[in-house]
Structure 1
Amino acid sequence: MVSAPGLLAFAPHRSGTAALLSDAARRRGMEVAVLPVDGVPEPMRRRGDAHYYGGPRFAARVAGPLGVALLEPDDGWLDALPAAFTGRAVSRVPLSEARRRTGPFFAKPPTDKSFPAAVHRDGSTLPLPPPGTGDPLVQISEVVDWEEEFRIFLLDGEVRTGSRYARYGRLDPAPLAGHPREAAVRAFVRDLTRECGHTLPGGVVVDVGRMRAPGRAAVWAVVEANMAWFSTVYAADSERALDVVLRSAGPAALLGERDRPFRREHSTGAAPREAAPREAAPRDAAPRDAAAPREARHSV
């Protein structure tokens, strides 16, 4: 993240989070611009101080011209975590194998959003792979209840800000600061980053929650990790969230060695237009964004 104000460029489709981050950026003297749908205007190209917030498909077109390095967690991050942090069985398997599984189980595409994240009674209800995709991986896990879920904005392993975003599968934002479970959330995240912080980029969003699996006591567990440059702020402090967003999508020339393994590869070709993250849409309806939990038993 550069110390000078710099530019914060947004995808053309706006959201409540984009408005909050825009205001926060202007308060610290940053230039704020909404990019046109056809790409990056010449004056903004590779100026060396740009940052980005918006969707990944649009980012594939503009990250290179902006000179921005986009950071994201590894696709297999969740299923590689120790069981103490997932609280449930999580794995990635080929779609053909998932379609033979008995259920119920929760399934989602680990990378694209080729089908909605949902609970399936068995593998037969999973869609066929899109043409030309071969046998893509699918992330599957146990069906569990999430009592409360929290979005945490992490900067170099430290909690910068956070927000509850759901209770029992219903959107219910509330600030982490002052929440009755704030201390428990922070303690769990501290343990997570102490043991696994090196597996995450320096600027990242991690969703955690109080989870209950059938026949087991409730535990704290990781929901998933997301790219901060396309994550809803909810009731988190937008000023502090902006610090994480800027680190997660900042000048490529300033990218440190620590974050190089987490750089998202970008393309230079055209990409379809996309909607910005939906603030109250079903979880993962917009790529890497959240509203309602995806593994609640009542989703069946």
Structure 2
Amino acid sequence: MSPTGTGPTLLLAPRINETGLQLRTAAGRRGLRACTAASWRAPRELAGARVHLYGGPLFADAVGRELGVAPLDPAEGWLAALPRELTRRRVELTTLAEARGRSGPAFVKAPADKHFTARVYRDGRGLPGPELLDGGTPVLVSEVLRFEAEFRLFVLDGAVRAASRYALGGELSIAATGSDAPELSAFASDVLAAATGSAALPSAVVVDLGRTERGWAVVEANAAWASGGYACDPDAVLDVVLRAAGPLTELSPADRPFLRPLPEVVG
């Protein structure tokens, strides 16, 4: 394909998933060019084009800088910065080295990239050792909380554009929001209203919320350009993805603090 003209192009990672296929179809319906990368290198024919990206962190890191893409990540400490009435549990942003020394069970995850499996660890001894991962790696350590149902929300400019259930009792269960929709919508409004200051979010982002025995709670926030759409409307997901990883030249000042630092790719 040729990058002639000024129209944008949606570039999908080589290992395209179901959401990627849906986004490619949605892009085609609105006359937007879309292509799947043949490898983990930036396609030469897209040099100088207005590129938007959908794929995982490894793909963004491999091609983003060369193609002038600006992927937006929520702040690493976003969940920890929220008030307790929204998280329903203690959440702390710390380092892997500090978490290794903790006793007792906790849910531990890397806030952005999947450096290790996010799950409940009996204690810090089960976390990756220094021979596998640097102790300075940021991690979120959370009090264990059981989510009865979990929902994915694609958010653009502080408004929910699409929502889907993705889990029941910790197991994958994809469906529409159903009877949970009114309470989910009300809680989402509270969460997004609290997204200011240290708890601010990028203009395009995914927020996961869940229902627990303690009430509704925030699960986490994720990069929209690397998140599955589940049963969300693909056209609405596409709107969010296009903003979440678009041309650096079109990045707004408000979103600049959320710009993912992309490495130089040599060779």
TM-score normalised per structure 1: 0.82
Q: Distance in 2 between matches of 1:189 and 1:197?
A: 14
The CA deviation string for residues 83-137 of structure 1, in whole angstroms up to 9 with x for no partner, is 1211100112232322222212111122432321111222222221345724333
Match of 1:220 among 216, 223, 242: 216
Counterpart of 1:166 in 2: which secondary structure? strand
| Residue matched to 1:90 | 91
Check 1:270–1:175 CA distance in 2 against 1; reply closer, same or farther (3 A cut): farther
Check 1:81–1:70 CA distance in 2 against 1; reply closer, same or farther (3 A cut): same
| Residue matched to 1:193 | 192
Aligned residues of 1:95 and 1:129 also touching (Cα < 8 A): no
> Where do 5+ consecutive residues of structure 2 fail to align?
1-5
| Residue matched to 1:155 | 156
Q: Which moved more, 1:234-243 or 1:109-118?
A: 109-118
TM-score normalised per structure 2: 0.92
Match of 1:246 among 223, 229, 242: 242
Aligned amino acid, residue 228 of structure 1: A
Q: Distance in 2 between matches of 1:135 and 1:261?
A: 21
Aligned residues of 2:108 and 2:119 also touching (Cα < 8 A): yes
Aligned amino acid, residue 160 of structure 2: V
Aligned amino acid, residue 265 of structure 1: P
2:37 aligned with 1:35: yes
Aligned amino acid, residue 212 of structure 2: M
Check 1:38–1:145 CA distance in 2 against 1; reply closer, same or farther (3 A cut): closer
Q: Distance in 1 between matches of 2:258 and 2:135?
A: 25
Cα drift, residue 21 of structure 1? 0.6
2:227 aligned with 1:231: yes
Cα drift, residue 8 of structure 1? 0.4
Q: Distance in 2 between matches of 1:26 and 1:230?
A: 20
| Residue matched to 2:28 | 26
Q: How does 1:7-18 map to 2 (within 5 A)?
A: 7-18=9-20
The CA deviation string for residues 164-183 of structure 1, in whole angstroms up to 9 with x for no partner, is 0001111111123xx11111
The CA deviation string for residues 188-217 of structure 1, in whole angstroms up to 9 with x for no partner, is 1111111215610111000000123xxxxx
2:46 aligned with 1:50: no
The percent of aligned pairs where both chains have the same amino acid is 45
Aligned residues of 2:106 and 2:143 also touching (Cα < 8 A): yes
Check 1:130–1:204 CA distance in 2 against 1; reply closer, same or farther (3 A cut): farther
> Where do 5+ consecutive residues of structure 1 fail to align?
213-217, 272-300
| Residue matched to 2:257 | 261
Cα drift, residue 240 of structure 1? 0.6
Aligned amino acid, residue 69 of structure 1: A
| Residue matched to 1:285 | none
Counterpart of 2:34 in 1: which secondary structure? strand
Aligned amino acid, residue 153 of structure 2: I
Q: Distance in 1 between matches of 2:263 and 2:209?
A: 31
Check 1:38–1:223 CA distance in 2 against 1; reply closer, same or farther (3 A cut): closer
The CA deviation string for residues 193-246 of structure 1, in whole angstroms up to 9 with x for no partner, is 11215610111000000123xxxxx21111000000010000010111110000
Aligned residues of 1:157 and 1:197 also touching (Cα < 8 A): no
Q: Distance in 2 between matches of 1:174 and 1:197?
A: 30
Aligned amino acid, residue 32 of structure 2: M
CA RMSD of aligned residues (A): 1.8
Cα drift, residue 38 of structure 1? 4.6
Counterpart of 2:179 in 1: which secondary structure? coil
Aligned residues of 1:94 and 1:136 also touching (Cα < 8 A): yes
Q: Distance in 2 between matches of 1:152 and 1:91?
A: 23
Q: Distance in 1 between matches of 2:253 and 2:28?
A: 29
| Residue matched to 2:8 | 6
Check 1:223–1:185 CA distance in 2 against 1; reply closer, same or farther (3 A cut): same
Q: Distance in 2 between matches of 1:65 and 1:99?
A: 37
Q: How does 1:102-121 map to 2 (within 5 A)?
A: 102-121=103-122
- Number of equivalent positions: 260
